[in-house]
Amino acid sequence: MVWIFIGMQSTKNRSLTEIYLQAIRTAYPDWEVADSKCEFNSSGQYNDILTIDHQYIFRFPKYPEALQQLKVETLLLNTIKPYLSLEIPSPLFENLIGAQVGEAFIGYRKIRGDPLWRDTLNAIQDERILDSLARQLGVFLKELHSIPLSAIKCELPRLDTSEEAKDIYTRICEKLFLFMRPDARQWTRDHFESFLISRSNFEYTPVLKHGDFGPSNILFDPHIQTITGVIDFGGAGIGDPAYDFAGLLSGYGDDFLQRCAKFYPKVISFLDRIYFYRGTFALLEALFGIENNDLEAFEDGIGMYR
């Protein structure tokens, strides 16, 4: 049965690759793309990825909602690039206007480097290199969070409001508590209710935030020991700057967060919010899984609470 499933999945991937290649060829008939130079990845929640000739990344939205999100993200990327010191995706190919799921895409040149996983960071013993990486990330977030909201010409969601936090808490109680240990349920109650009761937690100055600022979206070149770029702005919105630092905390731990804070001193003023958001990440993944019939996301998120 496992082999049948693998065979079916492989056939599906080949079929999607052919559909996506045809969409590229239709939109850009002068660009010759050989099937043998393509790599397909369907593991993303919202987009399938086609890598061409190890040089270009093409993202194809899986759902109508993801297509709308990709349109917004493309406008955002083109707007914010001049403000940032690290490389971000720069769309070179677009087929979004009037296109449907299966034919809509954006494409950009692949940024060199691999995700900066926690094990990779922990293997670095040179304090100067660690400080250099912290400076790159701290400065990047300071630049991102300083972009004037008036410069952003696309409609971004307003995130991290008290209403959103209350809604998330309600949905967690209704949909996840059934699967959680009694002590895990009580911890979740305490975590959310102590945060929601303080109005000061929602009195921050809203900024443009990345929304998924963790290891998988931070690219690193191990040969020159430097950050080379930041990808995946699909979760960007107007919200709390603490959220992006919660991604750093979750990905790399307290010590590295403190290193980054040296280059973004305001971090000290919202540490409590950073720790709150960090404590919601696994629950949010489980909630996404149960609401979108994604068993893998659900299991990954709920595991520590069972």
Element (H, E) at 83: none
Final residue of a structural domain among 70, 86, 109: 109
Cβ-Cβ contacts under 8 Å for 194 (sequence gap 6 or more): none
How do the pLDDT tens digits run along the chain, 306 residues long?
A: 444 444 444 545 568 889 999 999 999 999 887 766 889 988 777 899 999 999 999 999 998 999 999 999 999 999 999 999 999 999 999 999 999 999 999 999 999 999 999 999 999 999 999 999 999 999 999 999 999 999 998 999 999 999 999 999 999 999 999 999 999 999 999 999 999 999 999 999 999 999 999 999 999 999 999 999 999 999 999 999 999 999 999 999 999 999 999 999 999 999 999 999 999 999 999 999 999 888 999 999 999 999
Domain count, the chain: 2
For residues 25 and 33, give the distance between their C-alpha atoms in angstroms, rounded to a whole number.
Answer: 8
What is the arrangement of strands in the sheet containing 105-109, beginning at the earlier edge strand? 38-41, 47-52, 56-61, 105-109, 91-95
Closest by CA position to 105, among listed 137, 143, 127, 73: 73
Pick from 83, 109, 135: which residue ends a domain? 109
- Sequence-distant contacts of 201-204: CB under 8 A, at least 24 apart: 201/162, 201/272, 201/273, 201/276, 202/160, 202/161, 202/162, 204/240, 204/241, 204/242, 204/270, 204/273
pLDDT score at 14? 67
The CATH number that applies at residue 207 is 3.90.1200.10
Q: What is the Cα–Cα distance from 266 to 242, expressed in whole angstroms?
A: 10
Do both 75 and 135 map to the same domain?
A: no
Do 165 and 98 share a domain, yes or no?
no
CA distance linking residue 206 with residue 240, whole number of Å:
6
pLDDT of 46 reads 84
Let me know whether 92 and 22 are in one domain: yes
Same domain, 103 and 124: no
Give me the sheet containing 226-230, strands edge to edge.
114-115, 218-221, 226-230
Cα separation, 15 vs 17, in Å, equals 5
CB of 265 closer than 8 Å to CB of 277: no
* Contact indicator for 188, 283 with CB cutoff of 8 Å: yes
**Does 94 share its domain with 118?**
no
Which of 109, 129, 164 delimits the end of a domain?
109
The pLDDT assigned to 10 comes to 52
77 and 20 in a common domain: yes
94, 193: one domain: no
Q: Is 96 in the same domain as 156?
A: no
| Structure-token match 């899986």, residue found | 62
- Which domain covers residue 183, as residue numbers? 114-305
pLDDT of residue 300: 95
CATH number of the domain to which 53 belongs: 3.30.200.20
DSSP summary character for residue 87: B
Q: Could you tell me if 124 and 40 lie in one domain?
A: no
Residue 13: the pLDDT is 59
Instruction: Say whether both 86 and 159 belong to one domain.
Output: no
Residues 118 and 104 in one domain: no
Residues 225 and 138 in one domain: yes
Q: How far apart are CA 291 and CA 282, in angstroms?
A: 14
pLDDT of residue 12: 57
